[in-house]
Structure 1
Amino acid sequence: MYNAIVIGGRCAGAAVGAHLARRGLRVLVVDRSRFPSDVLSTHFVWPHGASYLNRLGVLDQVRAVTPAHTRVTVVNNGIALRGSVPEELLRNQFRLLHDDDSGITTEYFSVRRHVLDKILVDNAVRAGVEFREGYTVKELLQDEDGTVIGIKGRDGTVERAQVVIGADGRNSFVARALGLEKFDERPRCTFAYWSYFSGIPDADAQIHRRGRLGMAMASTNNGQTMVLTWGPSEWAEAFRADVEGNFHRALGLISEEAADTVARARREERFYGTLDQAAYLRRLHGPGWVLVGDAESFKDQCTALGITHALRDAELAAEAVGRWLGGETDRDTAMAGYAAKRRSQTAAAYYDYVCTLAEMKPLRHDELQLFAILRGNQAEIDRFIATHVDVAPVSEFFDPSNVFLLNDTAKESSRDHSAFADFEATYREHQRNPFPRVAAEATR
């Protein structure tokens, strides 16, 4: 009998398995895929995600094959802010969540999933995890009280455990088998298309917003750069009519400089896309089971935090399950602690923040003024970036008193910026879908 069975062996599953095995527990991780293999993902890892990789002992392996950076450029309607996530804010977050700030790094990566997932799987095996790839779970086993006690595979094998952990993504088999409903769903979201280009020099990541469109560029593995565009989901159908043409048109509308860079580069792979980014929450745990990663919650890709949050949740869940199975506390107390950290007021505020961004409404005049005034304050630029990627609390940066102080001189700071010229007309123009006309021209 195993102490824990983990269904899903990618970021969340391999990580939680490794953490539990290092506590001396007997762990089985199963996944229907074989590794290395790719999965649809925008594969960005922010500094707190890289810190979790460091705590797992695999950061050097990722760094050896993936460009690392600390500074990122965020551009809103042409207003550019360049900064990084402050180390002290990272330490504060880890002390708050784990009472331990070891392994902190301010680096970030854009690491392909066939690279990262294989590294994490091999690390879990070295930690003592029994890993079965190409294994499909057919059934969750439950006792007469409904407590989950194990799994049955499609091959007929039966395995039992004290706890079964679902780390099997948005379409979680565990959630479906238990009849777990989604709640606090946010259907308004983005669509996204991306591909990989050679001939673009390794550089800091760029994230742009203009009107209702966004784009990002980040250096990744094999000397390539991932280039991503996104917009509101209601524009997705029109965009799909001519993906490549609309991809380049979107880049031109967002940043002429970025569009020129990509136009001179060579596309090395097909375009990848995702249309379903609707956010949701699920119950975190119950009798004999726990969910981690996208299985328990999902947010839009617009802040690129899926992997980082999966690694965070894996460590939090392993801490709770480890205390319970190690006899430090009872199951209910341990899992209540996990739920309290995952569903805190801070977590709820960030969920709202991402879901609001995912609607891709054009930035208001006062929002642009805030970005304009930040240009002269590096400490606040860094704090904004930390807030945007869920290192510092949203409620602190956007507290009315702080925004009032920052905006106090915003008019002076914004007078020379083109984003404020004829703002009302520009705002109305940004509400319009720019793709149907292009799609029609492409089919002539």
Structure 2
Amino acid sequence: MRMYDAIVIGARCSGASTAMLLARQGHRVLVVDRSTFPSDVISTHFLWPHGMSYLNRWGVLDQVLAVTPAQTTIKVVNDGIPLTGSVPVDLLREYFRDLHGDDTGVVQSYASIRRRVLDQILVEAAAKAGAEVRTGFAVRELIRDGDRVVGIRGRTADGQTVEERARIVIGADGRNSFVARTLDLPKYDERPKCTFAYWSYFSGFDLGPAQLHRRGRLASAVVPTNFEQNMVLVWGPSEWSREFRRDVAGNFQRALDFVAPEVGEVVRTEGTREERIYGTLDQAGFLRPLHGPGWVLVGDAECFKDQCTAIGMTHAFRDAELVAAALGRWLRGEVPVDEAMAGYESRRRSQNAAAYYDYVCTLAEMRPYRHDELQLFVALRGNQQETDRFIATHGDVAPVSEFFQASNLFLLNDAAKESSAGHAIFDDFAATSRSYQQNLFA
């Protein structure tokens, strides 16, 4: 029986990337997935600029850009207050230097990439790097030697049962991770309050760069994607999902009309829906242990967050580069495995990571914005540098603690008191806020 250095379970964003990076280091890697490719999976499939930068660092960005539109500016509208900006290059460089020790390959663009496109590119890149890729392979069991995971047992596409052994087994198999369930890993810091989300794909119009709108407890996004289509997404608090499901197509359009009337009009009069409406109702956040004897988790298997900031794929790439670097040091004999995994954990469980997890989970509650929060958005309209930093913070490029530190908010709110006067959202804030809390679909 051949001994691999690493077996990766899951061959999508985190798994294929991890396998590719380890194989490029010269390690013997097997990556398996029950799916075949190309294929789609439930995903908001958005990549922030640092996500695109990872692809550029790995030499596969050109393949993505050949078939996927990309932009640098993004429009964010909160309760009618518009902000337009981009993630600053200097913050991107600082992000990569702090996390990975170098800032090569930084790009400022973002893109919405269908998974049938992206995952196929990554699987092919892993195979080209020298990883053995087996698709249509269902893992049935983790093989253990005492408390240590030493391999897998599974079934091939033609029904053959096989066993494989490795020095490390990597669980890159998503939020419902087989590895995590088999090892009976606990979830902790669970956040049950989350969003529901529905989306589909429309042709027939071009609204330019991505638009994110929020009004009250509902939100929507329109982002150009592959095949000359736009991904159109609506979401709201999970406690409203039951009412929404009574008429998904009708409420999808009603939500668009409520949150962003001009977008709703374009979708209704110019758009052609090319696929069914997809949905997800359970976005509850959680953390799991990162590693143990013979195993390690990456991506959503280890930390799942609500879709409201569309950070999942970008974080999958982050984890892939971090874990491949850590495991590479151990596999080359430079450090013991415990030291390598401790280094991986220290970066994944950093104060910044914890603050961003809390930020996403708080946003996912979809509470109406407070008066002072709306004032902040108004103030940002006249400060492009801080607007860009806010967008970078929302996308986890800049630390949450830096933007929302008291001294920074104090200065911005001083400006907001002057610039918010006469803005429509403040004319009757109390009544407006109460109306937002009513269930639109009751």
Place the TM-score, normalised by the shorter chain, in its bin.
Answer: over 0.9
Q: Which residue of 2 aligns with 1:439?
A: none
Once the two structures are TM-superposed, the CA of residue 270 in structure 1 deviates from its matched residue by: 0.5
Equivalent in the alignment of 2:40? 38
The answer to whether residue 351 in structure 2 is matched with residue 345 in structure 1 is yes
SS in 1 for 2:71: coil
- Do the aligned partners of 1:74 and 1:206 also contact (CA within 8 Å) in 2? yes
Contact 1:202 1:223 (8 Å CA) reproduced: no
Given that 1:76 and 1:208 are in contact with CA atoms closer than 8 Å, whether structure 2 keeps it comes out as: yes
Corresponding letter in the other structure for 2:150: I
Partner residue of 1:379?
385
Per-residue deviation, residues 253-281 of structure 1 (Å, max 9, x unmatched): 11111111111211111000000100000
The root-mean-square deviation of aligned C-alpha atoms, in Å, is 0.7
Offset, 1:202 = 5.5
Whichever residue aligns with residue 151 of structure 1, its letter is: I
The 2-side partners of 1:79 and 1:334 are apart by 46
TM-score of the two chains, using structure 2 as the length reference: 0.98
Is 1:141 the counterpart of 2:143 in the alignment? yes
Q: Equivalents in 1 of 2:260, 2:40: separation in Å?
A: 30
Would you say 1:213 and 2:214 are equivalent positions? no
Are 1:255 and 2:260 counterparts? yes
In the alignment, what sits opposite 2:322?
316
- Matched residue of 1:409: which SS? helix
Supply the distance in 2 between the matched residues of 1:327 and 1:87 (Cα, whole angstroms): 36
Note if 1:152 corresponds to 2:153.
Answer: yes
User: Structure 1, residues 93-114: CA drift from partner, whole Å, max 9, x if none?
Assistant: 1001110111110110000000
Find the residue that maps to 1:408 and give its secondary structure. helix
Q: State, as a whole percentage, how many aligned pairs show the same letter.
A: 67
- 2:334 is the counterpart of 1:333: no
Q: Please give the per-residue CA displacement for 1:182-218, whole angstroms capped at 9, x wherever unaligned.
A: 1000000000000000011161000011000000000
Question: What residue in structure 1 maps to residue 206 of structure 2?
Answer: 201
Question: Structure 1 residue 411: deviation in Å?
Answer: 1.8
Map Cα deviations across residues 366-410 of structure 1 (whole Å, 9 max, x no partner): 000000000001000000000001000000000011000011121
- Scaled by the length of structure 1, the TM-score of the pair is 0.97
What is the rounded CA distance, in whole Å, between the counterparts of 2:134 and 2:189 in structure 1? 34
Instruction: Decide which of 60, 78, 94 is 1:92's aligned counterpart.
Output: 94
Aligned residue for 1:65?
67
- Secondary structure of the corresponding residue to residue 66 of structure 2: helix
Partners in 2 of 1:29 and 1:114 — Cα distance? 18
Q: Structure 2: how far apart are the matches of 1:200 and 1:432? A: 32
Q: Tell me how far apart the structure 2 counterparts of residues 416 and 161 of structure 1 sit (CA, whole Å).
A: 66
5 Å-filtered alignment, 1:176-191, equals 176-191=181-196
Runs of 4+ that moved beyond 4 A: none
Alignment of 1:95-134 (within 5 A): 95-134=97-136
Moved more, 150-159 or 18-27: 150-159
Aligned residue number for residue 10 of structure 2: 8
Q: Which residue of 2 aligns with 1:246?
A: 251
Write the distance in 2 (CA, Å) between the matches of 1:108 and 1:206.
12
TM-superposed deviation, 1:55: 1.4
Q: Which letter does structure 2 place at the counterpart of 1:150? A: G
CA distance in 2, matches of 1:205, 1:134: 35
**Contact 1:67–1:202 (8 Å) recurs in 2:** no
Report what 2:423 is aligned to: 417
SS at match of 1:28: strand
Report how many residues are paired.
435
Checking the alignment, whether the CA contact within 8 Å between 1:69 and 1:107 is kept in structure 2 is: yes
